[in-house]
A and B are shown apart, each in its own frame.
Chain A
Amino acid sequence: MRGVIIWLAAIGLGLGLGVGSVAFLIVRGGAADARIGNGVWETERHAGDPATDPYSRARVAIFGLWALPPEEVIYYTAYRDKDGAVLNRPCRYEVRGAALPARWWSVTLYRDFFLIANEVRRYSWSKTALDAGAAPWTIQVNARGEGLHGLPMGDRDGVFALSLRLYQPAKGVLERRGEIDLPEIVKLDCAGANT
């Protein structure tokens, strides 16, 4: 009887270790240079590329299936404001940017990796929707999407992410993904807090 219990425990331990380790490495692992950071924004170096490492391939398949390669679109994602705090629904944020070096670009808000339902059907702001030309622009991110260029965070909590897409980046941008000027995510205040 003791032997059976030991073997069952070994199988359970093996399965647990296998699932846990692969989940951790898919979310946080991959090749050392698999991701490029630029402030709070982060992008996959080889999204969709057959030459990428298996952890990065699995991560892109699960969280951003059918992404185009970075020569076509650079996908940046940010989960934090410029001070490093996680994006949080009781808080109000302002995204501050200027013209970006790409044929077309957009900023989209997600909760738990999906679009957030709202009455005005506003999920993103783009180069064309902002109609900013070369002028600086701002986007207001808060629960109800209030303010000029508002993006609603909706009525419940979750993992919030802002995605910045640069379609057909200008020459030289691909090599400088970690250095180009990207929008700032500034926390304005939080409900019930003196932030």
Chain B
Amino acid sequence: MKFPIAPLIAALGIAAATHAAILFSAPFVATDLVIDRIDKARSLTPNRIAVAPPAAPPRDAVPMSNPDTLVASSWLDLGDGPLVFEAPLPEHAEYWSVSIFAHDSDTDFVLSDRDLEGASHARLEIYGPGHNPPATSVDRKDVAHVSTRRAFLLVRAIMSDRNDEASVAALKEEMSQARLELLR
């Protein structure tokens, strides 16, 4: 019997193509699935920051989310130009940071309260692909260079005690003052 070499080669080719397709699409798909899950829970609008209640089952949309973190987030559409992020730094958080994740899940930018060295307010310029950031922006801590047009912005503040409703409400009020606007 003649050995069917052509189908065997085709099978190996299909295996390699399937392997590569899943591997390289997984971060994009994982990002989209979580954004969709969050969107279903609280109707995300692009470039508009919303504060979520502390992660708790069954509404923790992100795997292995931190239950001690209060999160404000927005998905970013950088198609209309660069954005400006502004927020007061909460007084009673154990830790605060703003981070931006590219569509392929890479961490493109992180700025924490420690980086801001005692400032009471954070201001950040966000540039996407095809934008022309100022030449001086390369080493600036307050300028984010994002590698994909669609991205996700997360503001994290760690609560001292997630079961202390008064302190959580106060922190949430401070977090809700975060804003995103087109850079003019």
Q: Chain A: residues with CB nearer than 8 A to chain B?
A: 6-7, 9-11, 13-19, 21-23, 25-26, 47-50, 54-55, 57-58, 60-69, 72, 77, 103-104, 106, 108, 110, 113-117, 121, 123-124, 126-129, 161, 163, 165, 167-168
Given contacts A50-B147, A64-B64, 8 further A-B contacts (CB under 8 A): A6-B4, A14-B13, A14-B14, A49-B107, A54-B24, A58-B26, A72-B110, A113-B64
A103 and B95: CB pair below 8 A? Answer: yes
SS class, residues of chain B in contact with chain A? mixed
Q: Are A57 and B106 in contact (CB under 8 A)?
A: yes
Pairs of residues from A and B, 6 with the lowest C-beta to C-beta distance, nearest first: A18-B18, A14-B14, A48-B107, A10-B7, A17-B15, A61-B27
Given known A65-B34, A106-B68, contact A167–B106 (CB-CB < 8 A): no
A22 to B104, CA, bound (A): 17
Residue of B nearest to A77 (CB): B64
Least CB distance, A24 to chain B, in whole angstroms? 10
Q: Are A168 and B22 in contact (CB under 8 A)?
A: no
Closest to B30 in A: A61
Q: Are A123 and B67 in contact (CB under 8 A)?
A: yes
Q: Are A60 and B10 in contact (CB under 8 A)?
A: no
Residues of B at under 8 Å CB distance from A? 4, 7-8, 10-19, 21-24, 26-27, 30-31, 34, 55-58, 60, 62-68, 94-95, 97, 99, 101, 104-108, 110, 112, 114, 147, 152, 154, 158, 160-163
Give complex CA distance A68, B94 in Å.
Answer: 16
Tell me whether B161 and A128 are in contact (CB under 8 A): yes
**A6 x B7 contact (CB < 8 A):** yes
